[in-house]
Amino acid sequence: MQLGSGCVSGTLSSSGSRGAAGATYRRPIGISLGGAGTIGLMVVATLKAYGAGEIIVTDFQAKRLQLAQELGADYVLNPPANTI
């Protein structure tokens, strides 16, 4: 992502798919998302569709992490359960 593109979380939080689609980054790039709620899941699907590299998602709920994987997340982490 280029410096002028701003913070990914700030860009994507207002509109998941529009932010992901409009972000300026060189593919493939790895992206980490904090949260797999409605917006986070939409971002995962959009990033995957636009050819992003590895997508890492963190969340506290196993069901959300499962959905994130189904939508294309490469790695999912539950912070209390996983150590890096």
Reduce the secondary structure of 19-74 to three states and give it as a string: HHHHCCCCCCCCEEEECCCHHHHHHHHHHHHCCCCCEEEECCCHHHHHHHHHCCCC
Confidence band of 19 (pLDDT split at 50, 70, 90)? low
Q: Give residue 13's pLDDT.
A: 46
What is the CATH T-level fold of the domain 30-84, as seen in this structure?
Answer: Rossmann fold (3.40.50)
Tokens of residue 46, six digits: 């959009």
pLDDT digits (tens, 9 = 90+) for 32-57: 889 999 999 999 999 888 888 899 99
Tokens of residue 13, six digits: 């939080």
Is the pLDDT reported for residue 76 higher than 80?
yes
Q: Give residue 35's pLDDT.
A: 92
